[in-house]
Amino acid sequence: MRRKYEEIDHTADVGLRIYGETLEALLIHAAEGLFYIIGSNTLLSKSAGQAVTKTIIIESSDLETLLKDWLSELLYLHSSNHCYFNKFSIQSISDTGLIATVTGFGIPQEQEKEIQDVKAVTYHGLEVAQTDEGFEAQVIFDI
């Protein structure tokens, strides 16, 4: 089994190379990678706050923008709701849009200092390509 994502070297920010056999898998792996950076899975081993479920609907102009918009929306929901998402389900997907449900939990105030502050998903180095093995992408996060 191929890995889902891996960190890539970047001078000042954090980058991920993401893999998926399908576009749906690629976007789910990208979301898992984002929340790995945010919480490095430390939050999963501690008592979680209240369960949080959100529906996301995105319309974008192309595949790269879809990836950026998906991750940006997750980052917005994380920041505005003080929550950590760890389950991602995509109900509908195309090269320019998706409908998804994400589930996670509220981050207790005493644990907020343990998370990595990700400020934004950037267009810098943003790539999505279809390969013989599925899809591969690169994204850089401003931290």
Q: For 15-49, what is the HEC assignment? A: EEEEEECCHHHHHHHHHHHHHHHHHCCCHHHCCCC
Instruction: List pLDDT tens digits, range 8-30.
Output: 977 778 999 999 999 999 999 99
User: Domain residues for 14?
Assistant: 5-142
DSSP 3: -
How many domains does one find in the chain?
A: 1
Instruction: List pLDDT tens digits, range 70-93.
Output: 999 999 999 999 999 999 999 999
> What is the percentage of the chain residues whose pLDDT exceeds 90?
75
pTM comes to 0.92
pLDDT: which is higher, 90 or 114:
90
How distant, in Å, are the alpha carbons of 1, 64, 72, 82 from that of 69? Answer: 28, 9, 5, 19
Q: What is the CATH number of the domain that holds 71?
A: 3.55.10.10
